[in-house]
């Protein structure tokens, strides 16, 4: 009796050497737009007092300055429902990301591969990895990475929000897109180099070194892109895409959606009838460091600049009838760094004399090693309609992946959301691995991930 496709792939992979693979498309279909509907939703994901922030090695939640939200929409009438969601968390990794997609899929009546969930990546927020939490929970003296009861509550809220939205879907008749440059926000982190190109110093999310701040912006995508969805003449949802780490300052136990979330919320207040959603693009090597000294004054300044960019990107919106929708996915199975020693990492987690950061962080690494060994792929996806392409990528991908995607389809308006499945942590380009630096030091994949991910992007964006 022939093996089912998934079982066949598992058996095949088990017999292959360790190489990065794009396993193929789990869906690729174009559906006409006769019955398209959209159902925007939103729900609260603010962590409780005492919850860990950014993995548990910075101060836990002590104050909530502004609420964290998950915002998204369900697209109906393009085959099985498609769900797209952005979450004001640092990350959703490995099985936690799959649990989130599965919960929203069940509520929407679809499959998890048709659900794209992305984090905005604020740091005073949860970094949810249920697998790492299980590892640290075996050591009671370690702070928890994730409150599993709270996580379950968020999934239940998400299901309720999706079901409520689906009870009142709106006809989706028109779409529009626009873009505008954002003034003095994004800058590349890896601009201080020796003559051979090796990174000497990182310009982080905040930077007070005048010499580093004086260096050029470096490689960024300067544009904020907006895709707006209309029901007749009414704009009902607007998705904004911009690539930068979204932190002004953090590590003080004060929960906030920070400048990216605050800019979105301001725009939401302008248009209560329209659900505004913000996606962070490929920002593994991009932050606000050149323009952000980490002061309290910097946050409203960055908020104002990003908000102005969003407004400008919407100024040229010209709704056109929405055409057929194409949805594609590809499965990516990267190789874990061959330098990793799982047994040594497990010992590091158990070392009661080591500081928390030296024990909690390795738990994320070990979770990734085990996930790769289990051959649980990352799902890449795209949604295409008219001349617009929405591209969904994992983790802290370098900005070059986003720029490559745009170069691959210059005839399309390509909008990239990164920080999907955060399991791999940073995903540098292959040529940046020899140049070292912080991002390379905490990348969980071999450099061959570049070829595999670029292949996946090409497949997702093909005409």
pLDDT digits (tens, 9 = 90+) for 322-380: 999 999 999 999 999 999 999 999 999 999 999 999 999 999 999 999 999 999 999 99
**Residue 46 DSSP SS3:** coil
pLDDT band with cut points at 50, 70 and 90 for residue 463? confident
Nearest CA among 324, 321, 323 for reference residue 232: 321
Other CB atoms within 10 Å distance of the CB of residue 47: 23
At 354, list the tokens.
């080591």
Parallel, antiparallel, or unpaired: how do β-strands 325-333 and 21-31 relate?
Answer: antiparallel
Instruction: Please name the residues in contact with 371: beta carbons below 8 A apart, sequence gap of 6 or more.
Output: 94, 95, 131, 423
* CA angle, residues 412, 417, 422, in degrees to nearest 5: 145
pLDDT exceeds cutoff 80 at 419: yes
Mean pLDDT of 431-447: 97
Mean pLDDT of 247-271: 98
pLDDT exceeds cutoff 60 at 26: no
Based on the number of CB atoms within 10 Å of its own CB, is 52 exposed (0-12), middle (13-18) or buried (19 or more)?
Answer: buried
Mean pLDDT of 67-83: 97
Mean pLDDT of 2-29: 47
Longest dimension (CA), the chain: 68
Per-residue HEC secondary structure of 1-19 comes to: CCCCHHHHHHHHHHCCCCC
Q: Give dist(CA 199, CA 434) in Å, integer.
A: 10
At 242, list the tokens.
């911009």
Nearest CA among 205, 190, 221 for reference residue 434: 190
Q: Give dist(CA 249, CA 429) in Å, integer.
A: 27
pLDDT exceeds cutoff 60 at 458: yes
Residue 74 CA, distance from chain mean position: 18
Alpha-helical (H) ranges within 229-356 are 258-270, 298-315, 342-350
Q: Give dist(CA 16, CA 32) in Å, integer.
A: 40
Name which residue leads in pLDDT, 31 or 145.
Answer: 145
Q: Give dist(CA 384, CA 142) in Å, integer.
A: 45
pLDDT exceeds cutoff 90 at 74: yes
- Mean pLDDT (the chain) is 94
> What's the pLDDT score for residue 300?
98
> What's the pLDDT score for residue 158?
98
Pair 401, 332: CB distance under 8 Å: no
> What's the pLDDT score for residue 401?
98
Q: Give dist(CA 106, CA 37) in Å, integer.
A: 18
Based on the number of CB atoms within 10 Å of its own CB, is 34 exposed (0-12), middle (13-18) or buried (19 or more)?
Answer: exposed
Domain-wise residue ranges, the chain? 32-317+340-364+396-442
pLDDT band with cut points at 50, 70 and 90 for residue 3? very low
**Percent of the chain at pLDDT exceeding 90:** 92
Nearest CA among 40, 3, 5 for reference residue 24: 5
pLDDT exceeds cutoff 80 at 201: yes
Q: Is the dihedral of CA 202, 206, 209, 211 positive or negative?
A: positive
Q: Give dist(CA 222, CA 317) in Å, integer.
A: 19
Nearest CA among 177, 185, 272 for reference residue 230: 177
Other CB atoms within 10 Å distance of the CB of residue 245: 26
Q: Give dist(CA 381, CA 297) in Å, integer.
A: 38
Q: Is the dihedral of CA 5, 389, 110, 367 positive or negative?
A: positive
**Buried b or exposed e, range 412-448, using 16+ CB within 10 angstroms:** bbbbbbbbbbbbbbbbbbeebbebebebbeebbbbbb
């Amino acid at each position: 009796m022939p093996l089912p496709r998934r079982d066949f792939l598992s058996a095949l992979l088990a017999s292959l050497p360790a190489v990065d693979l794009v396993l193929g498309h789990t869906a690729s279909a174009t559906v006409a737009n006769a019955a398209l509907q959209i159902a925007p939703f939103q729900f609260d994901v603010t962590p409780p007092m005492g919850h860990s922030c950014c993995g548990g090695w910075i101060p836990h939640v002590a104050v909530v300055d502004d609420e964290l939200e998950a915002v998204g929409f369900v697209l109906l009438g393009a085959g099985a429902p498609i769900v797209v969601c952005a979450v004001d968390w640092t990350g959703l990794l490995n099985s936690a990301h799959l649990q989130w997609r599965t919960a929203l899929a069940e509520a929407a009546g679809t499959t998890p591969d048709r659900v794209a969930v992305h984090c905005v990546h604020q740091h005073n927020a949860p970094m949810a990895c249920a697998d790492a939490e299980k590892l640290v929970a075996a050591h009671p003296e370690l702070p928890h990475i994730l409150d599993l009861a709270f996580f379950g509550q968020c999934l239940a809220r998400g299901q309720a929000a999706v079901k409520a939205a689906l009870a009142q879907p709106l006809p989706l008749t028109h779409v529009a897109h626009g873009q505008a440059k954002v003034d003095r926000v994004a800058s590349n982190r890896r601009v201080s180099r020796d003559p051979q190109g090796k990174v000497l110093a990182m310009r982080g999310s905040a930077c007070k070194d005048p010499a580093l701040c004086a260096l050029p912006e470096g490689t960024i995508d300067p544009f904020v892109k907006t895709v707006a969805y209309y029901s007749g003449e009414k704009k009902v949802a607007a998705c904004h895409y911009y690539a930068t780490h979204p932190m002004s300052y953090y590590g003080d136990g004060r929960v906030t959606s920070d400048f990216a979330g605050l800019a979105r919320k301001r725009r939401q207040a302008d248009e209560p009838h329209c659900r505004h959603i913000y996606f962070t693009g490929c920002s593994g090597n991009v932050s606000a460091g050149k323009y952000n000294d980490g002061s309290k004054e910097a946050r409203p300044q960055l908020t104002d600049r990003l908000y102005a960019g969003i407004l400008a990107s919407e100024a040229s919106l010209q709704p056109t009838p929405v055409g057929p929708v194409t949805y594609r996915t590809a499965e990516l199975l990267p190789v874990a760094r061959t330098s990793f020693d799982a047994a040594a990492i497990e010992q590091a987690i158990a070392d009661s004399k080591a500081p928390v950061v030296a024990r909690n962080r390795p738990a994320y690494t070990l979770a990734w090693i085990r996930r790769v060994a289990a051959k649980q792929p990352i799902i890449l996806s795209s949604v295409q309609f008219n001349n617009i392409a929405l591209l969904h990528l994992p983790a802290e991908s370098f900005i070059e992946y986003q720029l490559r995607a745009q170069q691959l389809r210059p005839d399309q308006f390509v909008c990239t959301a990164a920080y999907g499945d955060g399991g791999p942590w940073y995903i540098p380009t292959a040529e940046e691995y020899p140049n070292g630096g912080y991002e390379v030091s905490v990348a969980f994949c071999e450099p061959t991930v570049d070829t595999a991910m670029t292949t996946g992007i090409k497949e997702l964006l093909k005409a």
